[in-house]
Structures are given as C-alpha cells and as structure tokens.
Amino acid sequence: MSDPFAPAPEWEWERVRPPTGRGRPTLAVFKLASCDGCQLSLLDHEDALLRLADVVQIAEFAELSSASMPGPYDLVLVEGSVTTPADAARVAGIRDAARRLVAIGACATAGGIQSLRNFADEPALARRVYAHPEYLATLADSTPVSAHVRVDAEIHGCPVDGGELLEVVAATLAGRRPITRPHAVCEECKQAGHACLLVTGRAACLGPVTHAGCGALCPGVDRGCFGCFGPSESPNTSSLAAGLARRNISEKSLRRLLRTFTAAAPAFATESARHGDV
C-alpha cells in the first residue's frame, strides 16, 4: 500500500490561500455511503472546532450546520464509500471543487463495512432485503474514494480519530505535511503496557497488521484488534494468518476477522480470499 500521507507534489510548500478572495480558507465536509460517525468524531472536538471556525470558513458540513456555500473549497473532507452511480458522479464534482481532498474513515479509504457485499451475490442480497429491489441503483462494489478520483491524503479508522483529523486540517492550513502515526497497533499496545493477547493465547488479534490510531483500545479490554484502522504499511498478513492457524483459529474465523471494517482493503481482501469464499 502506498503511503496514504505521501504529499501531493505541492503539498509541503504551498500554503493554502483562498482561491476565491473570500477571506478565510474554506472547509467543506461531504458524505457518501456512511454512518456519519467520522463527522461526529470531528464534532466531538467542540472546543477545537470553535477555534477552527475563527481561521476557516466552514462552507459545507451538514452534521454541523444547514448553511451551504458553493465551491471552490480549499479543503474538502469526504466521508463514505462510493456505492451508487450517483455517488460516483457526486464525488467527481466534489473533486472538481476541491483544492485539497482528504478521504476520512474506513468507508472512504477502503469501502467500509458495506464492502462486505463485494464478496457476495449483491442482486441476491438485494432481493432478500428489499421488497422492491428494482428501485435500487447500485454499483457492483463498494469502493473507496481513491478508486474514483485523486485523493491528497487518507485518514484511517472506523471512526477516525478526531485529533488526527484536526491535525490534517491544521497541516493543510500551515502548508506542511500532517504528523500522523504510520506504525501498527502493536506499538501503541506496548506503549500502553497491555499484555499481548497473541502471546498469552487469549484472543486472535490483527494488531500486527493494522494501522495505529486507536491507542490499542480493544487489546486494552482483552479483545483482539478487529482491524478497523485498516492495513498498516507493508502488512505481513500471510505470516499473521499462518500464525493464527497454528493456534487453531479456523479458516472461517480467519476470513471473518479479515472481513470486517476494511474488508475490501487489498491486503485484507487478498489474504481473506486465501481462506475460502463465503
């Protein structure tokens, strides 16, 4: 997986200035197929948001305000995956209006929980769930924003860490590269002083192959990491899967472990496919 925070060519040096002469830089937040949880993570940082509102013009943010300004926007955060033709058309328009576009959360960066349908017979699922599936217009797969338009950076997590989100906004305004955590959950787990669930045999854990950012929440309460921050950089999923198999974790359990929040992320999708189809 490429470095999600690799800067766009001009990222590090070009301070964001309003292209429209409207005063403060403009921030817009849009959602596609998602639960709004990542937007709520930003709203949770109420005090920081108030300070942010002093330095940026919040042009579009449906979870925060009904106010709506037309683009172009200096910074756009996009939550959610692309699951319908309408989503695909909309995200193309959003890209056209964005000087910087950051995909936020597991849905926007890896297709999200809804990408579980990528591994199933989607028309058959629709017939089981909906009384009138003929009214649905869906794409074959749930895909990340980067599968459709250029993305300047990605923030992982289901939901994202609000502090990391604010750091990306601050870095954009300052014209510098965001300071984020590139390591795996195991490092956070060791820093927190938790006993390793794999070593002690108490649970299967995706920590060695999962992007940091949660502070090892699940291992902290004796639950194995579910991988909601998606694959870390250069994850050795096959080695971890082989190790879990030696601990008598079944093929089905392995598959389910890898197919949860970021099932369509290539590193998890490829490894899960080695452990059966359904």
Nearer to ligand SF4, 18 or 224 (CB): 224
State the nearest-atom distance from the C-beta of 225 to ligand SF4, in Å. 5
Report in angstroms how near the CB of residue 15 gets to ligand SF4 at its nearest. Answer: 29
Q: Of the two residues 158 and 258, which places its CB atom closer to ligand SF4 in the complex?
A: 158
Q: What is the DSSP string of 186-236?
A: HHHHHHHTPPPHHHHTS----GGGBBS-S-SHHHHTT-----TT-B-SS--
Shortest distance, position 216 Cβ to ligand SF4, whole Å: 6
Taken in order 267, 270, 271, 272, is the CA torsion positive or negative?
positive
Among 50, 58, 90, which residue's Cα sits nearest to residue 75? 58
Give the nearest distance from C-beta 137 to ligand SF4 in angstroms. 21
Binding site for ligand SF4 (CB under 6 A): 34-35, 37-38, 79, 105-107, 112-113, 158-159, 185-186, 189-190, 194, 196-198, 205, 207-208, 216, 219, 225
What are the CA-CA distances from residue 100 to residues 14, 60, 167 (Å)? 11, 15, 14
Task: Give the nearest distance from C-beta 18 to ligand SF4 in angstroms.
Answer: 28
Residue number of the CB closest to ligand SF4 reads 207
Between 34 and 138, name the residue whose CB sits nearer to ligand SF4: 34
CA angle, corner 214, sides to 213 and 219, nearest 5? Answer: 130
Q: Which is nearer to ligand SF4, 11 or 268 (CB)?
A: 268
CB 175 within 8 A of CB 12: yes
